[in-house]
């Protein structure tokens, strides 16, 4: 059962609860029995894609075009439950559902939406979101990738890094600065001449997802592949805010997985003639973990309600991501401590989440960057250069 100490289920609709239970059952049945092997090998669980597609949840809150039209709360619950299963699986799904598809839905023309969204909603096409650059992680405004207008299209030159799914994606959404200084999103399809991807290796987190370095050397894209309403970095920020609320839910999912594992283990593991759940120190840890999870749940729920009403702001999303990533990181470490030596074995699942939370803590804005976004909002003074 999902930890629900403050009876938050009462605030969910029947449909939202049904979505959560559908994804939870998929994770328990299809993901948990096999994901440790994928994680250890450093491979994405591509064999799970057909069953994942069968859930008919790709595209989240997007309405029409074959997408499910979920509430932001339901979409958050999908993020939470997939992350409860595995961070890499969430990245595999989210690259398409939470990044590329919302960008097309927000910034694309009607023709562009009809062209790309239905196939991605069926997960027949996988997407990759290429914004981050080798020298510009947090400083995403300083894009060096360039788009030059040539004839009836554009020529893209530049490099990207940490791009999930890029080595096998059918569609890579590349963000580049044009000759007028504006920022555009360009759909580059697999096999485009001049597009090269290289798998990043040696990772100690998110091992069941593949990130890549992407090189664009004279890649030609037709003018109709530039998302029609992507003209300034403010347009990009609209997409980034939506990504951050998903990251807040994902952090909650990692924390829930570790809390559930620690609670079950504490009831079964016996030391000194008693289950370790009977010891004060273990109970104190579990109570602290539950308090953190409950506060994270409240933030996620309220943030998604605001998103559904069109009232969520970028700094609100940053606050939730900052708070939840830090809290989830602590919860995962407490769980590892309760499991003792078994906490570093993949068969107990906690070890994966401890490692993967290091990536969640950093992606979609580091703790410091999200704090400065909130700080700028409440003080009216920017601490960024």
Instruction: Kindly report the CATH number that applies to the domain delimited by 127-225.
Output: 2.40.110.10
pLDDT band, very low/low/confident/very high, at 384 (cuts 50, 70, 90): confident
Per-residue pLDDT at 334 exceeds 80 = yes
* pLDDT band (50, 70, 90) for residue 294: very high
Architecture of the domain defined by 233-379: Up-down Bundle (1.20)
| Distances 261 to 54, 133, 342, 353 between C-alpha atoms, Å | 27, 37, 11, 11
Q: List the structure tokens of 369.
A: 């960057």
Give the per-residue pLDDT at 114: 97
Give domain limits for the chain: 8-121, 127-225, 233-379
Of 87, 31, 35, residue with least CA distance to 355: 87
Average pLDDT, the chain: 95
- Domain 8-121 CATH assignment equals 1.10.540.10: yes
Q: Has residue 137 got a pLDDT over 70?
A: no
Give 227's Cβ-side CA count (13 Å radius). 31
Average pLDDT rounded to a whole number, residues 294-307: 97
Contacts for 82 with CB less than 8 Å, ≥ 6 apart: 23, 27, 89, 90, 93, 94, 250, 253
Q: What is the mean pLDDT of residues 98-121?
A: 96
CA distance 356 to 307: 26
- Residue 364, pLDDT score: 85
Rounded (5°) CA angle 241-247-250: 155
Lowest mean pLDDT among 125-134, 169-178, 215-224, 230-239: 230-239
pTM, two decimal places: 0.96
**Per-residue pLDDT tens digits for 235-253:** 777 777 777 889 999 999 9
* SS3 at position 315: helix
Comparing 22-26, 139-143, 177-181, 277-281, the range with the smallest average pLDDT is 139-143
Listed range (67-81, 133-147, 196-210) with the worst mean pLDDT: 133-147
**CA dist., res. 301 & res. 288, Å (int):** 20
Q: pLDDT per residue over 10-68, tens digit each? A: 999 999 999 999 999 999 999 999 999 999 999 999 999 999 999 999 999 999 999 99
Residue 156: which pLDDT band, with cuts at 50, 70 and 90? very high
Do residues 287 and 294 make contact, with C-beta atoms less than 8 angstroms apart? no
Return the CA Rg of the chain.
21
Q: Tell me: the pLDDT tens digits for 343-379? A: 999 999 999 999 999 999 998 889 999 999 999 999 9
Please state, in angstroms and rounded to a whole number, the distance separating the CA atoms of residues 209 and 190: 19
* Residue that has been written with the tokens 């997407």 in this structure: 127
User: Which run of H or E residues covers position 222?
Assistant: strand 211-222
Confidence of residue 296 (pLDDT cuts 50, 70, 90): very high
What per-residue confidence (pLDDT) applies to 142?
74
Asked if the model's pLDDT at residue 231 lies above 90, the reply is no
The sign of the CA dihedral 328, 329, 335, 338 is: negative
Q: Do residues 6 and 297 touch, judged by C-beta distance below 8 A? A: yes
Average pLDDT over residues 91-107: 95
- In order of 50, 224, 241, 246, 375, the CA distances from 314 in angstroms are 34, 29, 5, 12, 12
Share of the chain above pLDDT 70, in %: 99
Q: CA 4, 72, 297: angle at the middle one, nearest 5?
A: 25
């Amino acid at each position: 059962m999902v930890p629900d100490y403050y009876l938050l289920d009462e605030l969910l609709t029947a449909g939202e609860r049904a979505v959560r239970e559908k994804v939870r059952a998929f994770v328990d049945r299809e993901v948990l029995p096999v994901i440790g092997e994928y994680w250890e090998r450093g491979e994405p669980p591509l064999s799970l894609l057909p069953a994942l597609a069968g859930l008919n949840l790709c595209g989240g809150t997007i309405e029409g075009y074959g997408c499910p039209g979920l509430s932001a709360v339901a979409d958050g619950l999908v993020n939470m439950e997939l992350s409860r299963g595995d961070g890499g699986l969430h990245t595999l799904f989210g690259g398409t559902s939470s990044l590329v598809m919302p960008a097309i839905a927000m910034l694309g023309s009607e023709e562009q939406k009809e062209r790309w969204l239905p196939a991605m909603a069926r997960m027949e096409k996988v997407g990759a979101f290429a914004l981050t650059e080798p020298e510009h992680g947090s400083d995403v405004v300083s894009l060096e990738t360039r788009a030059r207008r040539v004839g009836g299209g554009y020529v893209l030159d530049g490099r990207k890094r940490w791009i999930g799914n890029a080595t096998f994606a059918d569609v890579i959404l590349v963000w580049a600065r044009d000759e007028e200084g504006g920022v555009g999103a360009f759909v580059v399809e697999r096999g485009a001449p001049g597009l090269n991807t290289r798998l990043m290796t040696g990772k100690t987190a998110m091992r069941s997802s593949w990130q890549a370095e992407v090189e664009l050397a004279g890649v030609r894209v037709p003018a109709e592949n530039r998302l029609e309403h992507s003209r300034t970095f403010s347009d990009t920020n609209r997409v980034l805010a939506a990504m951050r609320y998903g990251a807040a839910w994902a952090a909650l999912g990692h924390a829930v997985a570790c809390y559930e594992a620690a609670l079950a283990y504490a009831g079964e593991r016996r030391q000194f003639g008693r289950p370790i759940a009977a010891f004060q120190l273990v109970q104190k840890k579990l109570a602290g973990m539950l308090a953190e999870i409950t506060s994270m749940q409240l933030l996620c729920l309220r943030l998604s309600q605001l998103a559904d009403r069109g009232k969520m702001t970028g700094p609100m999303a940053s606050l939730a991501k900052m708070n939840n990533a830090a809290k989830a990181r602590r919860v995962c470490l407490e769980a590892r401590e309760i499991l003792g030596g078994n906490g570093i074995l993949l068969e107990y699942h906690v070890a994966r989440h401890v490692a993967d939370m290091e990536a969640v803590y950093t992606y979609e804005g580091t703790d410091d960057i999200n704090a400065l976004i909130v700080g700028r909002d409440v003080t009216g003074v920017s601490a960024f250069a």
